[in-house]
Amino acid sequence: MQIVEPGSESNNRHVGLLILGAGWTSTFLIPLLTREGIKYAATTTDGRDGTIHFRFDPESRDSAPFKTLPSADTVLITFPLRGQGQSKHLVRMYESTHQISEQYKPNFVQLGATSIWTEPTWHDENSPYDRTNVRAIAEDELIEFSQGAVLNLAGLYGASRQPRDWVDRVIKSKAELKAKGALHVIHGEDVARAIVALHRNFTPGKRWLLSDMHVYDWWDLAQDWAIQTLQGVKSGDLKVPVDKFQRQEELLVWVSELMVEEGVRALPRDTSSVGRALDGRGFWQKMGILPTQGRIR
């Protein structure tokens, strides 16, 4: 990892990408930047692991934290900005503490979520979204004020985050399973590739929808994973507590009952019947690349 010590001379060095908030996404992004030879600097709120100590406080006019940040071609904001004023404030503070000129003006990229698209229909990057959503308000401000770009991400997975581990949290009853339509995800490696692509081929003032271009059916996934777990236990490859074993059997019963009750002939359900569906083709087409990870298991 390229280390930029807080307050050191190296902070004044120009980097290609400045990551404001090196959290989970950066565990994929930083190795890619290293492989691609892109100079970067990264921040965390506590300055751990040689990152720059930086916490954005929307109420503070203190320019000192911004002065510790290097100038960059692209400034990636990974943490949520909310409501009106925060995006403008961050951009103003950064620009006022760096020498902005005709030749040098950074491109800002904000990571957002696809939950701003709420209607039970198809959505792509140009579809109407919930403009009252506090994150969407801040993203719109970044787009308008600094011609920034926004990557609205589907559910993040990879390494420690595996969709099959989400089942227990999101499906606690048959009613909850019934309500579950589509799942949309994007692997951390593809998020990293998308950020690098946008860094190299910046699209000013553009909102993108980032997914792995699949529409997964929660009923199909729940059934598949339950069967895999039960088979693993029966073959002796897997050990799970009794209640977890019983839960898999329960999930299988719920899925089969719901299929009869709801007139679903086969799984996965038709995309038109799973509600909200995301069309993520636009970004990949624009960048001339494709996601490398699909078919979650």
User: Using CB under 6 A as the criterion, which residues of the chain lie in contact with ligand NAP when the complex forms?
Assistant: 20-25, 44-46, 54-56, 78-80, 111, 113, 153, 155-156
For residue 133, what are the CA distances in angstroms to 83, 91, 118, 125, 280? 8, 21, 10, 16, 21
Residue nearest to ligand NAP (CB): 23
Q: Whole-number minimum distance, CB 89 to ligand NAP, in Å? A: 12
The one-letter code for the residue type at 197 is A
- Whether 126 and 279 have beta carbons less than 8 Å apart is answered as no
Look at the block and give the residue holding tokens 């589509």: 182
Closer CB to ligand NAP, residue 158 or residue 268? 158
The tokens describing 84, both together, are 């009106």
Strand, helix or coil for residue 187: strand
CA dihedral over 132, 58, 110, 106, signed as positive or negative: positive
How near is the Cβ of 297 to ligand NAP at its closest, in Å? 18
Cβ distance to ligand NAP smaller for residue 93 or 274: 93
Nearest CA-CA partner of 71 in 47, 103, 95: 95
Is the Cβ of residue 137 or residue 153 nearer to ligand NAP in the bound state?
153
What are the structure tokens assigned to 223, written together? Answer: 């059934």
Residue 212 vs 255, nearer CB to ligand NAP: 212
Report, in Å, the least distance between residue 24 CB and ligand NAP. 4
Minimum CB separation from ligand NAP for residue 111, in Å? 4
Nearest distance from C-beta of residue 188 to ligand NAP, angstroms: 8
Buried/exposed 50-86: b ≥16 CB within 10 Å, e otherwise: ebbebebeeeeeeeebbebbbbbbbbbbbeebeeeeb
User: Between 232 and 282, whose beta carbon lies closer to ligand NAP?
Assistant: 282
Question: Shortest gap between Cβ of 202 and ligand NAP (angstroms)?
Answer: 19
Tell the smallest beta-carbon distance from residue 293 to ligand NAP (Å): 14
User: How near is the Cβ of 180 to ligand NAP at its closest, in Å?
Assistant: 16
Task: Closer to ligand NAP by CB, 47 or 275: give it.
Answer: 47
DSSP calls for 31-54: HHHHHHT--EEEEESS-GGG-EE-
User: By C-beta, is 55 or 178 nearer to ligand NAP?
Assistant: 55
Compute, in degrees rounded to 10, the torsion defined by CA atoms 207, 294, 265, 271: 10
80 or 232: whose CB is closer to ligand NAP?
80
Between β-strands 52-53 and 40-44, what pairing exists: parallel, antiparallel or unpaired? parallel
Crossing angle between the packed helical segments 26-36 and 188-200, to the nearest 10 degrees = 50
Kindly give the residue spans of alpha helices, DSSP state H, lying in the chain. Answer: 26-36, 64-67, 86-96, 134-146, 167-170, 174-179, 188-200, 218-234, 242-261, 281-287
